[in-house]
Amino acid sequence: MTITLANREFDISKFTRRDFLSNSLRASVGLLGTGSVLSALGCATRRPSLVPRPTRRVLADLHCHSVINDWNRQTPLGLRFPALVWLAEKFFNRTGMEWEDCHRAGVDVICVAHFNVFDEWLSMPTDPNPEAPVNTFRMMDQLQEQLSGPARPYATLAKNATMLQKLTSIPKTSADYRIAVVHTVEGGHALGGSIDPLEQLARRGVAMLDVTHFFSKDIASAANSYPFFPDGNNRRPHLGLSEFGRDVIHEMERLGMIVDVTHATATAIDDIIKVATRPLAVSHASSRTLSEHPYAVYDDQVQQIVSDGGIMGVIIDPYLLGNYTTASLAEKEGSLRDVVRQVLHLVKVCGTHKHVGIGSDFSGYIGAPRDMNRISQIHRLSNMLESEFGNSDVVEDIMANNAMEFLKTNWKTGV
Ligand SMILES: [Zn+2]
């Protein structure tokens, strides 16, 4: 089966061979550094604890990698070495989500981030990889197959903002209640070096695209989020937004796709703020005041983004929320307290709670807080926020309403 993009035909039934092994080994060494195998095992055996399905808003997650494992399993590496992918999942993917459990917990919205590791940080025969858009469409197909198959009783794809509105209006006590699922893309590498795929992504309802990720890819300089992802470009964080990056943002705005600035360096975020004419999202990050990482966003940038109608989603990864010296220490000591601290700080900095939300990044091979490793355990976070704010309406806004409102107002793609 072939698909036409940028006047080129791609065979989507086959993948380009990559230099998988040497790079996988390098990445594995890095990931091993994030924690001990025993702690990974301990985490993997934790069971989700569920609460009865609530009637209030529970969570609109701005960033979650719900299908990454399924995707990895059917890549050339996964098909050739299934044990390797199984091991990676078992030991390195410390967080996760299950549709049925999330449905039972009353989750409202999940923005699924499509990300193909092979198109970004494993060596490419060509970079950018021209087949990356095709792989992205395949990931979207895979999610949709899941939603019309085993996940059908629990979740439904919201193809546009109107559908999101309809789905989230169904009371959770109704048999028709489903989690609303939204397509998003993580990393402009998915465009394969051209703005042309944006039109098709928009038609298929991609609400939001994170313009940069671990590597700059000549779009916007990428912050070094983990020391073991070295990129020539992120050693030059002041490159900011490239000319191609500017074209990407203009085209996204024309199509009504939300620009996500997570992973961009401070210089690139400044550049994007200057170029953007529509509200921006920081889907899954933290404030640099509490977390001295290049990945975290400066408070004045958060203030600018929210005063322009944007949203700040807080990631649930202690390493990126606090000042832990190593990722393994963050995993040992980090907890939902780190998330609460960030939320409180951001509400103060923004002068309102109305632009703060949650972007868990769960199932995205991040480090887990020691008291939560499943999305269905999200009530643990809301309970902690309730005791801080003493106001369940404020907590409901932060957990869900703010993100939902942001999406309903700014998401213009889809048919
Ligand atoms: Zn990310």
Q: What is the mean pLDDT of residues 198-216?
A: 95
Calculate the average pLDDT of the chain.
87
- What is the pLDDT, as a whole number, of residue 350? 97
- What is the pLDDT, as a whole number, of residue 40? 41
114 CA distance to ligand 1 centroid (A)?
A: 10
Is the confidence at residue 392, as pLDDT, over 90?
Answer: yes
- What is the pLDDT, as a whole number, of residue 41? 37
- What is the pLDDT, as a whole number, of residue 74? 83
3-state secondary structure of 94: coil
7 CA distance to ligand 1 centroid (A)?
A: 30
Give residue-wise pLDDT tens across range 232-264. Answer: 666 677 789 999 999 999 999 999 999 999 999
Is the confidence at residue 387, as pLDDT, over 80?
Answer: yes
Is the confidence at residue 403, as pLDDT, over 90?
Answer: yes
Q: What is the mean pLDDT of residues 57-68?
A: 94
**Residue with more model confidence, 297 or 34:** 297
Q: How far apart are CA 146 and CA 136, in angstroms?
A: 15
364 CA distance to ligand 1 centroid (A)?
A: 8
- What is the pLDDT, as a whole number, of residue 52? 55
171 CA distance to ligand 1 centroid (A)?
A: 31
Sort 84 into a burial class: Cβ within 10 Å, 0-12 / 13-18 / 19+: middle
260 CA distance to ligand 1 centroid (A)?
A: 10
Give residue-wise pLDDT tens across range 30-39. Answer: 444 444 333 4
Token pair of 358 as six digits: 């949650």
- What is the pLDDT, as a whole number, of residue 33? 42
Confidence of residue 53 (pLDDT cuts 50, 70, 90): low
List of domains in the chain: 2-6+53-410 (3.20.20.140)
1 CA distance to ligand 1 centroid (A)?
A: 31
Give residue-wise pLDDT tens across range 310-363. Answer: 999 999 999 999 999 988 899 999 999 999 999 999 999 999 999 999 999 999
3-state secondary structure of 382: helix
Q: What is the 3-state secondary structure (H, E, C) of 319-359?
A: HHHCCCCCHHHHHHHCCHHHHHHHHHHHHHHHCCCCCEEEC
175 CA distance to ligand 1 centroid (A)?
A: 34
315 CA distance to ligand 1 centroid (A)?
A: 9
How does DSSP assign 166-228, residue by residue?
HHTTS-TTSTT--EEEEEEEE-GGGGTT-STHHHHHHHTT--EEES--SS-TTTBPBP--STT
- What is the pLDDT, as a whole number, of residue 215? 85
Confidence of residue 124 (pLDDT cuts 50, 70, 90): low
Give residue-wise pLDDT tens across range 142-172. Answer: 999 999 999 999 999 999 999 999 999 999 9
Q: How far apart are CA 228 and CA 34, in angstroms?
A: 10
User: Residue 267 CB: number of other CB atoms within 10 A?
Assistant: 17
Q: What is the mean pLDDT of residues 196-222?
A: 94
187 CA distance to ligand 1 centroid (A)?
A: 8
318 CA distance to ligand 1 centroid (A)?
A: 14
173 CA distance to ligand 1 centroid (A)?
A: 33
> Cα 151–157–163 angle (5° rounding)?
140
383 CA distance to ligand 1 centroid (A)?
A: 26
Confidence of residue 23 (pLDDT cuts 50, 70, 90): very low
120 CA distance to ligand 1 centroid (A)?
A: 12
- What is the pLDDT, as a whole number, of residue 25? 44
| Residue 296 and residue 286 in contact, taking contact as beta carbons nearer than 8 Å | yes
Q: What is the mean pLDDT of residues 97-125?
A: 89
| Residue 85 and residue 77 in contact, taking contact as beta carbons nearer than 8 Å | yes
Q: What is the mean pLDDT of residues 163-182?
A: 97
Looking at the chain, the whole-number percentage of residues with pLDDT higher than 90 is 67
Token pair of 374 as six digits: 């499943």
Confidence of residue 121 (pLDDT cuts 50, 70, 90): confident
Confidence of residue 71 (pLDDT cuts 50, 70, 90): confident
- What is the pLDDT, as a whole number, of residue 185? 98
